[in-house]
Structure 1
Amino acid sequence: MKFRFATIALLVGLSSASIANACTSVAWNTEKGTFTSRTNDWVEATNPTLGGIQQGDMRSLQGNGVGDFYQVKYDIVAVLAYGELVHDGVNSEGLQVNTLFYNPMHMPTASNPSAITQFVFGEYLLANYATVDEAVKAIPTLNVGSLALEGMPMEIKLHWSITDKSGDRAVIEFDEDGINIYRGEEAMVMTNDPSMQVHIENQKNHQPNWENADRETDIGSNGNANAKSRFLHASYFQSKLTEPTSIQNGLMKLASVPYRVPTDAPYKDFGFGMSGYATEWTLTQSLETGDSVFEYNFKENWNTVKFNVYELMGKEFRVALATSQISQLAI
C-alpha cells in the first residue's frame, strides 16, 4: 500500500548532512514475532554508542542541543552516532526506526528553530508515537527541515523505515513529488536510491525465477554493492526463510540475509578519489522480546554485543559499541 502526500507546504526537510549512511534494512514477520536486521555502511567510523533516552527528557529538535526543545513521551533505547544523534532505536511501545542514506531526498532548508531536522526526525517519531499507523498519520503535519552539520565527510540525504511489534512497517521517502510512504509487504526490504518504487518494480521482474530456485538460479542480483543489487539479494534470501525455532534462531537467520559490503572494496568516487564503503556495523532485533545483537566490524575494532532493549528502557546510560570485546577461549 502506498500513500502520497503532495502538499508542498508539508514537505520541508532533509537534504544536508546527517548521521545515516548507505545500508540495507530487512524485516521478517514470523509466528515468534517481528525480526529486523540492518547493516550500516559508511566511509568512516561513526563511533556508535548505545544509550537510553527517558520519558520526560527534553531533547533538541535540531540535534546535539541545537534549536528548540521538545519533551519525550516514550522511553527509547537507541544507537547514537556523532554525539547524541539517534541513528536507530526502539521505544517502550515496540516502535523501531532505521535510518538509511537516500540521495534523491528533495527538501528545503530549515528556516526556524522549531523545525525538526533530519538529525532528529527518526528520534522524534520514536519519542512521540506508539505504532507505525500513528506515525504515518502524523508525518504530513510535522514541521521539518534540513540543517547542515560540520564534520560530516559529505552531503547526506535520508529515508527511514519504521516497524512495530504488530509487524506493520513503512518506508518514508521525501521526494520531489511529495512524501511517498510504502507500507506492509512491499516495505520489508529497503536499501538506497533509486526510489522504493523503482526497487519494487525491479523485484517484480525477477520474482518469477525465485519460486523453484536452486544455487544456479539468477535471482537478479549481480553480486555488487550497489543498492539495486543489494535490494534483490535481501529480498530473495528473506523470501526463502522458514519459520524460526526460537528467538535466537530467528535473529541468526535474519542476520544472514542483508548483503554486507566487504572492507576495502572500491565503491564510489565521492569527489576525493575512489573510496570504500564497508559495513561498519549490523544490528539484528526481535521487536517482540527486545533481544538484540549488535556486530561491529571496522578499522581495528571487532565486537559483538547482545542486549535487550526492553530491559534497558527507562535507564540513563551510554555504552560504547565499537570497543573490541571478543572473548578469549579459556581451557
Structure 2
Amino acid sequence: MLKNTLKIALLSTLTSATIAHACTSIAWNTDQGVLTSRTNDWVEATNPVLGNINKGTLRSIQGAGQGDDYLVKYDIVAVLAYGELVHDGVNSQGLQMNALYYTPMTIPEKNSNNSITQFTFGEYLLANYATVEEAINALPQLKVQKLTLAVMPMDIKLHWSITDKSGDRAVIELDKEGLHVYRGEIAMVMTNDPSFKTHLKNRQKYEPSWQNADRNTDFGSKGNASAESRFIHASYYKSKLTEPTSVQNGLMKIASVPFRVPVDAPYKDFGNGMTVYATEWTLSQSLETGDSVMEYNFENNWNTVKFNVYDLMGKEFRQPLMVNAISPLFSN
C-alpha cells in the first residue's frame, strides 16, 4: 500500500512539475542551539503535508514503488510534497535534511533494484544516520542512480544539505566531477546551481566590503531572484545576525534572512513563454528544541503553523500545512 501511495505521489510530482525549484537553505549556530530556515520557491502549490515515517517501517529505496525495501532505523517527521515525496525532514536524533534543485546533478541511470535514487536519497540519510559525520562517512558506499519515468516532463535533479544538533552541516552535490561535500561554516548557506564551489568564489569577492557596511553598501547582490544573487543576499544578512535572546527570537531572525521571491515574479522562458514563480513556503526550525514554524503564502492560503518535530516523533499522522490543522496532533 505504501509503495502504491508513493508511486502515485511521485508520478503526480513529475507530471505537474514544469520548472526547477529555486530555493534557499541556511543554518545558524547560536547560544540557543542550531537554527535553520529554508524557502521553497515554485511555480505551483506543492500542497505540503506534515507526516511521519516511523522506525521499523519498510520503505521503497527508489520511490515510485520501485526497487528493494529497506528498514527505517530512526523516526522521522517530514514535509511531504505532492503526497509522499520527502521534501525536508528531521529525524529523532536531530539530523535535518533539505532537498533543493540542482541542474548539474550527474548520476547514472537506474540499473539495479538496490540503488538509491535522487528522489529517496535525502529520506534515506534521515532514515539511517544520526549525525552529519555518520552520513558523510557512508556516502562513498552509497549507490545513487537516477530514476527516470516516461511521464517526466523534465529531469528532476537535486542537491542536499544535512545539518545536525551539534552544529555540523554539509552540502552534498553529485555532478560530472563526482561527489562533492562542502562542510562546516562555509556550508551554512546554499541555493541552486551553479556549483557550490562557484558560489563560494563569488562570495569571497564581496565579503571584504561587509565589515563596515551600511544601508548603501553594494554587498554583491544583484537584487534579483537568481541563485547567485540569493546566495550572496542570504550570506550577507546572516553575517549580520546577533545572538538571539530566545529560540523564538532566533527563529524570527533567521526566517528574515533568505530572499523571498515575490508572487508573480518573472523567472525564465523554457520555450512556452515566460514562467513565473514565488516563495510558496518558508520553514524555520530549532534542531535543539524541535520548535518549527511553517509560513505558507501561496494562492488563497496565507497561514503560519507552529509545531514541534520531537513531540510528533513516533505518531501516525498526515496533516496539511497550507492551513492550520496541526492542533489535533497534540490532543491525542
Output the TM-score relative to the length of structure 1. Answer: 0.90
Q: Distance in 1 between matches of 2:74 and 2:121?
A: 15
The aligned counterpart of 1:174 is 174
Contact 1:301 1:324 in 2 (8 A): no
The aligned counterpart of 2:317 is 317
Residue-pair matches, total? 310
Contact 1:68 1:114 in 2 (8 A): yes
2:239 is equivalent to residue 248 of structure 1: no
- 1:58 alignment partner AA: L
User: Which range is displaced more, 64-73 or 255-264?
Assistant: 64-73
The aligned counterpart of 1:227 is 227
Q: Distance in 2 between matches of 1:324 and 1:95?
A: 25
Cα deviation, 1:286-311, whole Å, max 9, x if unaligned, reads 00000000011111111210000000
The aligned counterpart of 1:329 is none
- 1:257 alignment partner AA: V
Cα deviation, 1:61-95, whole Å, max 9, x if unaligned, reads 11143221100000000000122110000000000
Q: Post-superposition shift, 1:316?
A: 1.0
- 1:178 alignment partner AA: G
2:103 is equivalent to residue 96 of structure 1: no
Q: Post-superposition shift, 1:43?
A: 1.2
Contact 1:169 1:184 in 2 (8 A): yes
- 1:169 alignment partner AA: R
The aligned counterpart of 1:44 is 44
Q: Distance in 1 between matches of 2:151 and 2:261?
A: 24
Contact 2:305 2:323 in 1 (8 A): no
The aligned counterpart of 2:58 is 58
Q: Distance in 2 between matches of 1:233 and 1:282?
A: 16
User: Which range is displaced more, 294-303 or 278-287?
Assistant: 294-303
- 1:264 alignment partner AA: D
User: Which range is displaced more, 268-277 or 27-36?
Assistant: 268-277
Q: Distance in 2 between matches of 1:262 and 1:67?
A: 39
Contact 2:115 2:145 in 1 (8 A): yes
Q: Distance in 2 between matches of 1:213 and 1:149?
A: 49
Output the TM-score relative to the length of structure 2. Answer: 0.90
2:133 is equivalent to residue 140 of structure 1: no
Contact 1:64 1:85 in 2 (8 A): no
The 5 Å alignment of 1:130-209 reads: 130-149=130-149, 154-209=154-209
**After TM superposition, which residue ranges in structure 1, 4 or more long, deviate above 4 angstroms?**
16-20, 149-153
Q: Distance in 2 between matches of 1:195 and 1:319?
A: 35
The aligned counterpart of 2:270 is 270
Cα deviation, 1:237-273, whole Å, max 9, x if unaligned, reads 0000000000000000000000011110110112321
Q: Distance in 1 between matches of 2:244 and 2:317?
A: 32
The aligned counterpart of 2:286 is 286
Cα deviation, 1:198-247, whole Å, max 9, x if unaligned, reads 10011010000000010000000011000000000000000000000000
- 1:269 alignment partner AA: D
Contact 2:241 2:253 in 1 (8 A): yes
User: Which range is displaced more, 18-27 or 203-212?
Assistant: 18-27
Q: Distance in 2 between matches of 1:318 and 1:324?
A: 13
Contact 1:17 1:147 in 2 (8 A): no
The 5 Å alignment of 1:298-309 reads: 298-309=298-309
The unaligned stretches of length 5 or more in structure 2 are: 1-12, 326-332
Q: Post-superposition shift, 1:168?
A: 0.2
Cα deviation, 1:33-73, whole Å, max 9, x if unaligned, reads 00000000111211110001101000101114322110000
Q: Post-superposition shift, 1:154?
A: 3.4
**Structure richer in helix, relative to its length:** 2
User: SS in structure 1 opposite 2:112?
Assistant: coil
Q: Post-superposition shift, 1:148?
A: 2.4
Cα deviation, 1:153-203, whole Å, max 9, x if unaligned, reads 532210000000000000000011110000001100000011011100110
Contact 2:59 2:69 in 1 (8 A): yes
Q: Distance in 2 between matches of 1:304 and 1:169?
A: 27
User: SS in structure 1 opposite 2:229?
Assistant: helix
Cα deviation, 1:135-155, whole Å, max 9, x if unaligned, reads 001011112111125666532
User: SS in structure 2 opposite 1:28?
Assistant: strand
User: SS in structure 2 opposite 1:215?
Assistant: coil
Among all aligned residue pairs of Structure 1 and Structure 2, give the percentage whose two residues are the same amino acid: 70
User: SS in structure 2 opposite 1:225?
Assistant: coil
- 1:318 alignment partner AA: R
- 1:321 alignment partner AA: L
Q: Post-superposition shift, 1:324?
A: 6.4
Contact 1:103 1:193 in 2 (8 A): yes
Q: Distance in 2 between matches of 1:315 and 1:146?
A: 32
Q: Distance in 2 between matches of 1:176 and 1:17?
A: 23
Q: Post-superposition shift, 1:22?
A: 1.6
